[in-house]
Amino acid sequence: MAPVECFEDLIAWQKARALTAAVYRACRRDSVRRDYALCNQLRRAAVSVMANIAEGFERGGRGEFHQFLSTAKASRAEVRSHLYVAMDAGYLQRPEAEALLGQAVEVGRILGGLRKAVARQRAVQT
């Protein structure tokens, strides 16, 4: 397996990008778009996931990367929470919301694994 040289190589970032694209598509629906505040928060949280992965990777240090991955995971939880609001308000039909939630859960699992790997690397370095 080739070493990861840039954040775009990270599966976590790739999956977060796909989640963000799916969130943006969902927010284009009239039913979601009409609630500007919710749509804006949902998009911002999704962007935050991928941005924190990228920023943490580029910082270079394992400690900082771990911290940014924790922030990304928290933003991913925010995405999930907002998706429940959109579903409960009737903006998203259950199947679409559940598909998006499934993507968010997958991103969270991958982030969790990456955080553990980075923590192990930190432990070896100290």
Question: In the chain, where are the structural domains located?
Answer: 10-125
| Topology of the domain comprising 10-125 | de novo design (two linked rop proteins) (1.20.1440)
* Per-residue pLDDT at 5 exceeds 90: no
Residue 2 — very low, low, confident or very high, per pLDDT cuts 50/70/90? low
Per DSSP, 35 falls in state S
Q: Calculate what percentage of the chain has a pLDDT beyond 90.
A: 85
Nearest 5°: the CA angle 28, 29, 31 is 130
CA dihedral 69, 13, 107, 100 (to 10 degrees): 130
Longest dimension (CA), the chain: 52
* Per-residue pLDDT at 1 exceeds 90: no
Task: Decide if 32 contacts 91 (C-beta within 8 A).
Answer: yes
Chain mean pLDDT for the chain: 94
CA 103 vs. chain centroid, Å, equals 9
**CA pair distance 62, 87, nearest whole angstrom:** 37
Task: Decide if 71 contacts 21 (C-beta within 8 A).
Answer: no
pLDDT digits 0-9 by tens, 65-113: 999 999 999 999 999 999 999 999 999 999 999 999 999 999 999 999 9
Residue 61 — very low, low, confident or very high, per pLDDT cuts 50/70/90? confident
The residue written with tokens 């927010």 in the block is 27
Per DSSP, 9 falls in state G
